[in-house]
Amino acid sequence: MMLLARASMGMIWWAFGFSLLYALHGLGCANGWISVSLAGGSLFRWILVGIWLVLGFGGAIVIRRAWIMPVGFERSLAVACGIAGFFGTALTGTPLMVSSTC
């Protein structure tokens, strides 16, 4: 069971991040966070981009943890899944930088 958990951690992290960003997006739009200005942007965008960057850092940690595992099939699978999860998180959050928020 641990093999499955370790090997799929990258995708689990991506799914968690996607769900968190989606939930915060809904909350921010519903509660008017976009109207609060902060440092040249809206509080809403700053929160979403900040969470996205934290998720990216967490994805890098998942890859690093997989990389230090003993060499073998489990490590290869965990690293590949971690990289897929990292790039999935990066692509999921990219629209936060280039599109309107609500």
Residue 73 maps to a domain? yes
Higher pLDDT, 6 or 59: 59
Residue 51 maps to a domain? yes
Provide the number of structural domains found in the chain.
1
Residue 102 maps to a domain? no
Residue 1 maps to a domain? no
Judged by DSSP in three states, 77 sits in helix
Residue 37: φ, ψ to 5°: -85, 145
**pTM for this prediction:** 0.82
pLDDT averaged over the chain? 87
Residue 91 is predicted with a pLDDT of 92
Residue 50 maps to a domain? yes
- pLDDT at position 1 over 70: no
Residue 52 structural domain? 7-29+38-97
pLDDT in tens, 41-76: 788 888 898 999 999 999 999 999 889 888 888 889
Residue 2 maps to a domain? no
Residues present in the chain in total: 102
Residue 2 is predicted with a pLDDT of 78
